[in-house]
Structure 1
Amino acid sequence: MSDLISPSVSIPETAKDDPRLAHWLNNNSDSVQTVLVGFPSDEGVRRNGGRPGASKAPSEIREQLYKMTPSAEYYDPFVTLLEGCEDAGDIEVTGNLETDQERLGDTIAEFLEQGVVPIILGGGHETAFGHFLGYAKAEKRTSIFNLDAHSDVRPLKEDKAHSGSPFRQALEHKSGCGETYLVSGLQPHSVSQSHLDFIKEQGGHYKFRDETNITAISGLFHQHESEQLMVTFDMDAVDQSQAPGVSAPCTNGLPADLWLTAAYMAGRNEKVTSFDLSEVNPEYDRDNQTTKLAALTIWHFLLGLSQR
C-alpha cells in the first residue's frame, strides 16, 4: 500500500480496565476484516464552489474515534470485531484530484478483493467517486446508497470532477459497475429537477428529507438486486445545529439520532461491503461537535458490523 501514509494523530493512553478504540486500531491484526482509510482531499469542494477545509477531517475524526470505548452493551462482539480492525492510514494526496481518486480506488480495490470492509474518512464528497473506483478496478458490480442533502449527480465542470459529480461519474463509468443509485435526505430547495430526472432515467430511487425515516432508509437498503452495496454518508445531511462543521450547512437537516441509527443499520446489513463519511469541515466546527458526531457515526457502523 505505497499510497498510504501513517496518520498524524495523538494516541491516547489506554488502561487495561478502560481500553479505548486506539488500542485495537493501532495494532496490526493477524486477520484484518475491517480497515480505516483516510482521504484528506477537498479539491473537489473547491472546484464546486464550496468551503474548503474537509481535508483536515480524517485526522480530526480519528482524534475523537480513538478516545471512544467498545460498546459496554455489546462488549464481546464489538471487541471481537475490533480484533480484526486496523487503521491503514491516509491516501497520500497530491492535489491532482483525478490522480488522487485513482489512488484511492487502487487501495479500495485491494481491500475489496481480500473481502475486507473499508471505512473511508473523507475529505469532500469527491471521496465517493474514488471509493467507487475501487469496485470498478476490482470488477465488482455494486449499488450505491447515499444519505445526503444533495443528489451529487451534477455534470463535470470543464471536464473536471468535483464534489457534486461523483454519482453521475459512477453511473456513467465505462466499467458498468455502478448498478443502482439510491439517495435519501434530499432537500427540495437544493436539488435540480433535471438531476432527479437523471436518477430516474438511470433506474435509481430518491427520498426527500421529510420522507427520510428509518422505514424509508431500510427500504432503500433493500431496493436493489446487487450482491454488494457501497454506502456513503455526507455529513451535510444533518441539521446544522448538530453538525455545524460541514462544507455546506443544512438549516433543516436530519436529526443526529436518525443519522446514527442509519449508520448502525448500514453496518448490520450483510450486503454493505464498504462505507465512507464525507464533508466534515473542522474549519467551521464548534467545540468539535461535528467531528465527534462523525466519529460516533463510525462507531455505530462498527457496532452494526459486529452484529452481523
Structure 2
Amino acid sequence: MNVEFFSPLENSVVTNIMSCPAMVLGKLVQLHTEEGFPDLSGVKIAIMGIAESRGAEQYNSHEGLYYVRKELYQLFSGDWHVSIADLGNIDEGNTIQDTYFAVSKTVSFLIKQGIIPIIIGGTQDLTYANYRAYDELEQTVNLVAIDSRFDIGTSDEELMSRSFLSKIIMEEPNNLFNYSNIGYQTFFNSQEEIQLVDKLYFDAYRLGEVKDITLVEPILRDADIVSFDIGSVRQSDAPGNTNASPNGFYGEDACAIARYAGISDKVTSFGVYEYNGAIDVNNQTAKLIAQIIWYFIEGVNKRANDYPFVSKESYEKYTVILDDDDPLNFYKSDRSGRWWMEINLISNNKHKRHALIPCSYRDYEEALKLKIPKRWFKALQKLA
C-alpha cells in the first residue's frame, strides 16, 4: 500500500486522546501520527478519512474529519477482540480522479489483506471509488446504500454525489450483482428512477417500510459494500448535512443499521458520507457518526462466521413445496439463528456465491402460505 496517499492525524486529535481516561477507544487504536504509519500486521479494521468534496454541488467542510475522530476516540470500547488502526486522511488530489485512484487502490489492498476499511467522507461519490476497488477481486458485488435518494442521475452526467450510481451500473467492468437502497423517500426520487430500480430487479425499501428496523438485517447481511449517507437521518438528529430533511431515520436506527452491517460476514467495506462540520450544531452529527462507527465495530466483533464460511450441512434445512411441486429450500444457522433461501438456478461460477440469499423467518412463513418471497424472485431473475 502506498502510505504516501495519507497525511497523519492532526496533533490536536492525539492531544485530545491523551487527556481522556484509560480504555477509551483512542488509546486502543494504532494511529498514523507524525511519528509514523501504523503496522497493519494483525489489523482487522482500518479507519480512513477522505478530504474530498468536489463531487458535491456545495462544498463540504473537511474539518468534519477532526470532529468525528474527536468524538469517536473518547468513547469507551466494548468487549472487543479485533485490532484497529487509523491510517489518517487521504487529502484532495490534483484532480478528483486522483483522489478516486488513491481510495480505490487503498481499499483494494486492505480487502486483499483481510482488513475492513471504514471510510469517513467526504461526499458519497466516493462510493464509486470504493466499488472500483473490487475490480481486482474477480467477484460480483452487492452494494447497499442507506440513503433518502437513489443518486442515479443520467449516463451523460459527470460523476457527482447525486449521480454516482449510474456510473456504477453502466461502466465497464460491471461487477455489480445487486444494489439495495434502505430508507428512500418517494418525494426525493422521480417515478422514472423508481421504475428503473424495479426494472433492474434491484431492491428499494421506503423509509416507512423499515420502521421495524430488524427488517434491514437480511439486506445488509448480503452486502459487500455499505454506503451510509448521513442525510438519510432526520435533521433533528443530524443537522450537519447540506441536504438534511425533517424526515429520516432516528439516530438509534442509524446505529442499529451500522451494527447489522458489522455483524454481516460478507461486508468488507463501510463508509459514512456527506457530513459538513461547518453547519453542524454542537457537534451533534459528529457524535452520531462516531456512534455509528462504534456500532459497526461492535458488530464486526460479534460476527458469527456462519456464512459463507461453513457448508450447508451445518444448517437446519426446511423445504417448502409450492403449487408447481418445485421445492423452495430454507436454511437456518445453528450458530446465529439466521435464515437463508437457496437459489437452484446458477448461471455461471461468477454468481455461485449468490446461491444462498439471506432472508428472515417472515419469508419462510410467507412461503408456507405458498407466496414466493420477493427477494427470492428478484435474485432468480438476475441469475437466470
- What's the TM-score, normalizing by structure 2? 0.72
Q: 1:299 Cα shift?
A: 0.3
Q: Quickly say closer, same or farther: Cα 1:199–1:32, change in 2 above 3 A.
A: same
1:37 is aligned, of 45, 48, 71, to 48
Residues paired across the two proteins, number:
291
Q: Quickly say closer, same or farther: Cα 1:15–1:38, change in 2 above 3 A.
A: closer
In 1, the alpha carbon distance for the partners of 2:92 and 2:192 equals 33
Residues 13-56 of structure 1, C-alpha deviations (whole Å, 9 max, x = no match) = 4589732211122353531111011111111113xxxx322533
Partner of 1:263: 258
Q: Which has the larger radius of gyration?
A: 2
Instruction: Answer yes or no: is the 8 Å Cα contact 1:106–1:137 preserved in 2.
Output: no
Partner of 1:186: 184
Q: Quickly say closer, same or farther: Cα 1:229–1:13, change in 2 above 3 A.
A: closer
In 2, the alpha carbon distance for the partners of 1:167 and 1:295 equals 26
Residues 140-163 of structure 1, C-alpha deviations (whole Å, 9 max, x = no match) = 42100111111111125x642100
Partner of 2:321: none
Partner of 1:98: 97
Q: Does 1:10 align with 2:6?
A: no
CA RMSD of aligned residues (A): 1.9
Query: Where does structure 1 lack aligned partners over 5 or more consecutive residues?
Result: none
Q: Does 1:52 align with 2:47?
A: no
Q: Aligned AA for 1:104?
A: V
In 2, the alpha carbon distance for the partners of 1:198 and 1:69 equals 44
Partner of 1:212: 210
In 2, the alpha carbon distance for the partners of 1:215 and 1:293 equals 20
Query: Where does structure 2 lack aligned partners over 5 or more consecutive residues?
Result: 32-37, 304-384
Q: Quickly say closer, same or farther: Cα 1:13–1:37, change in 2 above 3 A.
A: closer
1:172 is aligned, of 170, 193, 201, to 170
In 1, the alpha carbon distance for the partners of 2:260 and 2:112 equals 24
Q: Aligned AA for 1:152?
A: D
Partner of 2:355: none
2:276 is aligned, of 273, 281, 294, to 281
Instruction: Answer yes or no: is the 8 Å Cα contact 2:20–2:74 preserved in 1.
Output: no
Q: Secondary structure at the match of 1:52?
A: coil
Residues 205-260 of structure 1, C-alpha deviations (whole Å, 9 max, x = no match) = 101111123233123225x5xxx611111000001001000121111111111111
- Greater CA drift, 84-93 or 52-61: 52-61
In 2, the alpha carbon distance for the partners of 1:120 and 1:305 equals 15
- Greater CA drift, 53-62 or 116-125: 53-62
- Greater CA drift, 98-107 or 134-143: 134-143
Q: Secondary structure at the match of 1:43?
A: coil
Q: Does 1:299 align with 2:294?
A: yes
Q: 1:95 Cα shift?
A: 5.3
Instruction: Answer yes or no: is the 8 Å Cα contact 2:13–2:66 preserved in 1.
Output: no
Instruction: Answer yes or no: is the 8 Å Cα contact 1:14–1:20 preserved in 2.
Output: no
Q: 1:287 Cα shift?
A: 0.3
Instruction: Answer yes or no: is the 8 Å Cα contact 1:245–1:281 preserved in 2.
Output: yes
In 1, the alpha carbon distance for the partners of 2:136 and 2:51 equals 21
Greater relative CO (CA pairs within 8 A, separation 6+): 1
Q: Aligned AA for 2:153?
A: R
In 1, the alpha carbon distance for the partners of 2:55 and 2:94 equals 10
Q: Quickly say closer, same or farther: Cα 1:4–1:13, change in 2 above 3 A.
A: closer
Partner of 2:314: none
Residues 111-153 of structure 1, C-alpha deviations (whole Å, 9 max, x = no match) = 1111111110100111211111111244342100111111111
Q: Does 1:107 align with 2:93?
A: no
Q: Aligned AA for 2:209?
A: E
2:74 is aligned, of 52, 55, 67, to 67
Q: Aligned AA for 1:287?
A: N
Instruction: Answer yes or no: is the 8 Å Cα contact 2:55–2:159 preserved in 1.
Output: yes
In 1, the alpha carbon distance for the partners of 2:220 and 2:61 equals 27
In 2, the alpha carbon distance for the partners of 1:180 and 1:13 equals 40
